[in-house]
Amino acid sequence: MSNSDFSRENNSRRRFLNSFTALSLGTFLPANRSKASAQVNMQSATEDAADAARAARLARKLASPQWKDGKFRNELPEITRFAQAFTKMIFSRRQTTPDGEVPTRKRSKADFATAPVSGSRVTWLGHSTMLIEMAGLRFLTDPVWGERASPVSFAGPRRFFAPPLSLGELPKLDAVIVSHDHYDHLCRDTIEHLAKLKVPFITTLGVGDRLEKMGVHHSLIQEFDWWEETHIAGVKLACVPARHFSGRALLDRNTTLWSGWVFQSQQHRIYFSGDTAYFPGFKEIGDRYGPFDVVAIESAAYNSAWPDVHIGPEQALQACLDLKG
């Protein structure tokens, strides 16, 4: 083969390869551009939906009758003397921890495989965490499985006993109910686990932003103001007033709302207080939704230094009467 023939053959091969490459890229790149564009559009739509949900939650929060001068307010004034309580805690010799092991009864998923004969059952899992079964549905309140009620793992109030039911043994849930955002009622590790279950979260105004940051999808969050109601498969859930406060840091006190909750089916009525002090609202709740088959009143961390944010044992009994429990 002459040099000129060899050169012409190489040129032909190069033209063929260039044409094939151009044809391939022309077919391949537009398809990938379309795919990438679709992904960007989908991500943008998701972000827009999340932004719209946050904006709607914020608008409802700012329109609440409880929102005044940039914070949520109780109807009654609040007097707290934390310095007094702190001094007592440091210098007092009062017993503040159990002497021995707290008796508990272990539970597993199998214990909930059979519906309660009465149609209603409440399993207390510690502090404010309860599994409420009613009319074939299951509701979990203020879920805390963490070791400490604290923003850090090395300090803060520590639990006295392991949860009687592990997170892995939880039966299928129909909704998680959160009364307010304090660490002993809203545990990040627990919420992050529950968020993976894609279960609806029902809470008070402002708490939705916290839940979303903990991994709960915006479409699964519903926020409510006092006296607002919702229904899940025939069970009424009512957000009712409480006398307390909120916050998870030094500068965010009362930027989210606190409440109690009423669970009402055709056969049964259950009241869950969350955290609250004694106040006249118990009687109004009883008049509107009572009488109750069960009243779960949070009588914990009570102290003469803060009678306006926590309820004592004697007051809890009076509240039970007010509620028609």
Read off the pLDDT of residues 49-106 as tens digits, 9 standing for 90 and up: 999 999 999 999 999 999 999 999 999 998 888 777 777 767 777 777 888 999 999 9
Residue 269 CB-half CA count within 13 A: 13
**Cis, peptide link before residue 291, omega less than 30° from 0:** yes
| Interatomic CA distance for residues 176 and 197, integer angstroms | 11
Nearest Cα neighbor of 219 from 57, 7, 27 is 57
> pLDDT 10s per residue in the chain (325 long)?
544 444 444 444 544 444 444 434 344 445 666 666 667 677 777 889 999 999 999 999 999 999 999 999 999 998 888 777 777 767 777 777 888 999 999 999 999 999 999 999 999 999 999 999 999 999 999 999 999 999 998 998 999 999 999 999 999 999 999 999 999 999 999 999 999 999 999 999 999 999 999 999 999 999 999 999 999 999 999 999 999 999 999 999 999 999 999 999 999 999 999 999 999 999 999 999 999 999 999 997 888 888 999 999 999 999 999 999 9
Distance from C-alpha of 91 to C-alpha of 84, rounded to nearest angstrom? 11
pTM of the predicted protein model = 0.85
Write out the DSSP string of 173-205. Answer: -SEEE-----TTT--HHHHHHHHTTT--EEEET
Which residues in 156-170 are b (16+ Cβ under 10 Å) and which e? eeebeeebbbeeeeb
